[in-house]
Amino acid sequence: MAGHSKWANIKHRKARQDAKRGSQWSKCARAIIVAAKNGGPDPASNLTLRYAVEEAKAVNMPKDTIANAIKKGSGELEGESYESAVYEGYGPQGVAVMLEILTNNRNRTAGELRKIFEKGGGNLGATGCVSYLFEPKGQVFIAKGGASEDKVMDTALEAGAEDVIDDGDSWRILSSPTDFITVKQSLEQAGWGIESGQIAQIPGNTIRCGGDVARKVIDLLEALDDHEDVQKVHANFDIPEEEMAGLQ
């Protein structure tokens, strides 16, 4: 892959010790509600819902909570109505930022995100300004302990994966979105310790950042990620490994 998603790596590491589980569950519930509303309540025939449920399970969301979110989306239970949107912009040093949004008030969300961008040294851009720089991919993180690269790669490639990347203490397996579930299930059945998995937007190229700029980029992305309407944050920065430890 030309681009290496450092933000995906940071988010993955933080998720393993994230104290904001309630916030994660809330965002997963929104995704499930919208998916069920748009494509029906059966994950077997609604791939978007299946992805949303998989991500909810990855953050240990209770089965009853997942079931209730599906019922809200299908109209069996009363719930708020959300719509999806993609907002795009730039961070410090021209880093491309793409946000997946679920909101019940697009004007409010746009205004709040614009302020976050401006405070963080960036700006909210027009639709399409950076999305062309990213490509959707399925990604699964596997703990390295007891999982050799050769064995993980054999299992992953046989299931349809495209690449296996060394991400420090984890292997990151990339696939096409349509092969994501098959690859993830094959890795689970092989007994590898799956830490997380989701559909992400992977940059085709990256912008190298260091020093104060790197800190500003991370601070901006974290502020955006903390917004309740932001489901996922994607960015194309690259920070040297020697600087990463002090930023996480």
Domains of the chain: 16-74 (1.10.10.200), 84-130+207-239 (3.30.70.980), 133-203 (3.30.70.980)
Per-residue confidence (pLDDT) for residue 2, from 0 to 100: 40
Task: Tell me how far CA of residue 45 lies from CA of 41, 49, 51, 84, 167, in angstroms.
Answer: 9, 9, 12, 20, 33
The tens digit of pLDDT for each residue in 115-147 reads 999 999 999 999 999 999 999 999 998 888 767
Three-class SS state of 128: coil
What pairing do the DSSP bridges indicate for beta strands 194-203 and 170-175? unpaired
* Mean pLDDT confidence for 230-243: 85
The tens digit of pLDDT for each residue in 179-215 reads 999 999 999 898 887 888 888 899 999 999 988 999 9
Q: Is 59 buried (19+), middle (13-18) or exposed (0-12) by CB count in 10 A? A: middle
Residue whose C-alpha is closest to residue 138's, from 202, 88, 90, 189: 202
Q: Residue 172 has which token pair?
A: 């990151």
Whose tokens are 């979105």? That residue is: 177
